[in-house]
Structure 1
Amino acid sequence: MIETFYEYSLLETIPISETPSRLLRINVSEECNLNCMFCCWKSTQKENLNHHFSIKDYLFILKVAIETKTYKRVMLTGGEPLMLDNKFLFEFIKSATKFKKKNEIESFWICSNGTLLKEKALLLSEAGLQNIDISIAANSDIGYETYTKSKIKIDEVLEGISEASKHNIDVRLAVPVYKGGLDNYKELLNLINLTKSYGAKSLGYFKLHKTNNNAYIFDKLVTDVNPITKAFTTDCQWHQINVDGQIRMVDKDGFQIIIPCQIKKATENCKSMKCGDYCQGTYASYINGTKLQKCHRTFSNGFNSIDIKKVVIERDYKSLANILKESSNFS
């Protein structure tokens, strides 16, 4: 039985956040050099890449989203965003970084699988990037090859983390927890010990999100993250801090664990869909191709999405601002 947001069986072990994250995730491309078995994008067709915006279009979206104070945080993701050409990456990062320097957004970062980070780190640093999330769900070559279905070695990711650290880019690990992977406290500790020496600064873990793209395997892989949360919050080697309303655990070396939380005020989308299974409520708006969507669970069927191509191409500032505000739905 799928539980609803309001009936989550172990809700008491999950921290509750009073504040929506007001995050805009810009998915610039579905193209990726890995084939992760639990990926939300697995069945997306590559021909859709032809319908994405130009760099000028994305910068216009970014300008409207930030100037209207609709979003506090911006993530550039994909697919694998580091597969984009260097000019695109440089211009987008430079623009987003300017907003951050002027305190018009709280944070900007890229979410990547890290396999191309070693060769791109200098470029990213020169463009002004300060933070990057590396999605990783293994602590060995065997584990990495199993879930990515590729011949790429985990050392390539570790070397990328090291190179990013040399260029003063803070690296946070983003770990999807699944059965047979890093599905317990001990395995996560092994990953932490492995990556700390390469310069990783923090780690966040999360339960798998179910979409139409990974539904065929989701039930075989999904597992509870609450035992992991309990272990981090009760092990004496970690002490708790609060960063902008976010609970983190810190060890003696300063390595931080971001504890996943539930957002108290669920969006209307979440209520009507009754996804519930570890739903984060008012989490993010997504620009996926030329569409703006409230929830990444529903990319395939277009629920709660609107095509913004016309207003972007015509540079209709007012209309785009209204669409973004409605989609954020955090009031």
Structure 2
Amino acid sequence: MLFDGFGRKIDYLRISVTDRCNLSCFYCRKNGIEGFPRNEILTFEEIEFIVDIFKNEFEIKKLRLTGGEPLMRKGIDSLICRLCSKGLSVNLTTNGILLFKFAKFLAEQGIGVNLSLDTLNHNKFKFITGFDFLDYVLDGLEQFLSNGGNLKINTVVLKGVNDDEIFDLIDFAGKKGVEIRFIEFMPFVGKDVWSSYFVSEDEIKSRIERKGNLVFLGNGSSTARVYLFDNRVRIGFISTVTRPFCDSCSRIRITSDGKIVLCMFDDRGYSLKKFLRPEFDGDALRKFIIDIVKKKPRGFVDLKDKMAKFEMIKLGG
């Protein structure tokens, strides 16, 4: 097992497989940002080696693939098959643009999908993402669910943009029989932009409770608190800013260029490349991970006064 310096058990690994994306969401990608050189991106063999270390040495069983947009990575289905064969719980976060191409495969593999969907309005979708690809997202969602897939909707609530769609999105999730999770906009962009669009969990809940009851069901994960609305729709809240969950944080991230990032708001990344290239060194990597994880900061509660170093598109959602 793996523990950090605060005694928190680390049992959740998130790996970004690419920093490329087919959208340009303003809260994720800064203007002019360049992608990693392709030769710096971890190969599938390197990813699998890292996962084996975490699984076999540290008993980590929960894995999430992120990006960028992970479904843009060529051969991603092959990697998923290899990871699933290890007995891991493999999940994936996607913007849904390419989901229709992988819907049947992902459902058959038992991959849990978190789908980013901030709006049901075409104009707003283009404003947020830079493109009007909403129909692709909705088509992918339908195909994945029709194949029996397990899906949750992730919605970043933005003041003056989509906060008037809260009930439309709840109704949509209810009709599809899926959980929707409202996520507080995090300060990964300039503070002026962040403060202009930020909507707190309390404000979202207050609006919802004017139209129906919210019954607390418990913590759906280390990050989300889940409620039942109107006895029909599961609603989760992920509120890093107003209700940080740092004391129960069990995760670390690995960027697509092979850096361990211990906290989304830390300004450091620790490269794993020297243990992977020119050849694998499992013993040294294991010892390195143990030492580095001890440096995991308490979290946003201590780092909230400084902007995160990593753009979301490079960090992995």
TM-score by structure 1 length?
A: 0.74
Q: Deviations over 1:254-273 (max 9, x none)?
A: 532123366xxxxxxxxxxx
CA gap of 1:155–1:205, structure 2 versus 1, over 3 A, is same
SS at match of 1:322: helix
CA gap of 1:315–1:235, structure 2 versus 1, over 3 A, is farther
Matched, 1:112 2:101: no
Task: Show the counterpart of 1:142.
Answer: 123
User: Of 6, 25, 28, which residue of structure 1 is paired with 2:14?
Assistant: 25
- 2:183 partner letter: F
Task: Show the counterpart of 1:94.
Answer: 81
- Write the distance in 2 (CA, Å) between the matches of 1:191 and 1:202: 11
Question: How do 1:1-331 and structure 2 match up within 5 A?
Answer: 22-39=11-28, 44-69=33-58, 71-85=60-74, 87=75, 89-99=76-86, 102=87, 105=88, 107-126=89-108, 128-152=109-133, 154-183=134-163, 187-197=165-175, 199=176, 201-211=178-188, 217-230=193-206, 236-242=212-218, 247-251=225-229, 255-260=233-238, 279-281=244-246, 282=249, 284-288=251-255, 289-298=257-266, 303-313=267-277, 314-329=279-294
Count of matched residue positions in the alignment of Structure 1 and Structure 2: 284
- C-alpha displacement at 1:43, in angstroms? 5.1
Q: Is the 8 A contact 2:122 2:132 kept in 1?
A: no
Q: Deviations over 1:89-125 (max 9, x none)?
A: 22322233234xx4xx5x4211000011112212323
Gaps of 5+ in 1: 1-17, 263-275
- C-alpha displacement at 1:251, in angstroms? 4.3
- Write the distance in 1 (CA, Å) between the matches of 2:291 and 2:210: 40
Q: Is the 8 A contact 1:178 1:208 kept in 2?
A: yes
CA gap of 1:96–1:257, structure 2 versus 1, over 3 A, is farther
SS at match of 2:287: helix
Q: Is the 8 A contact 1:30 1:44 kept in 2?
A: no
CA gap of 1:178–1:62, structure 2 versus 1, over 3 A, is same
- Write the distance in 2 (CA, Å) between the matches of 1:27 and 1:41: 18
SS at match of 1:319: helix
Q: Which moved more, 1:64-73 or 1:133-142?
A: 64-73
Q: Is the 8 A contact 1:39 1:214 kept in 2?
A: no
Q: Is the 8 A contact 1:22 1:328 kept in 2?
A: no
Q: Is the 8 A contact 1:22 1:73 kept in 2?
A: yes
- Write the distance in 1 (CA, Å) between the matches of 2:80 and 2:210: 39
Work out the percentage of aligned pairs sharing the same amino acid. 19
- Root mean square deviation of aligned Cα: 3.1
- Write the distance in 1 (CA, Å) between the matches of 2:239 and 2:9: 11
- 2:254 partner letter: I
- C-alpha displacement at 1:144, in angstroms? 0.7
Q: Is the 8 A contact 2:14 2:65 kept in 1?
A: yes
CA gap of 1:62–1:235, structure 2 versus 1, over 3 A, is farther
- C-alpha displacement at 1:21, in angstroms? 7.0
Q: Is the 8 A contact 2:46 2:276 kept in 1?
A: yes
Q: Deviations over 1:163-196 (max 9, x none)?
A: 001222111111112222333xx62221122244
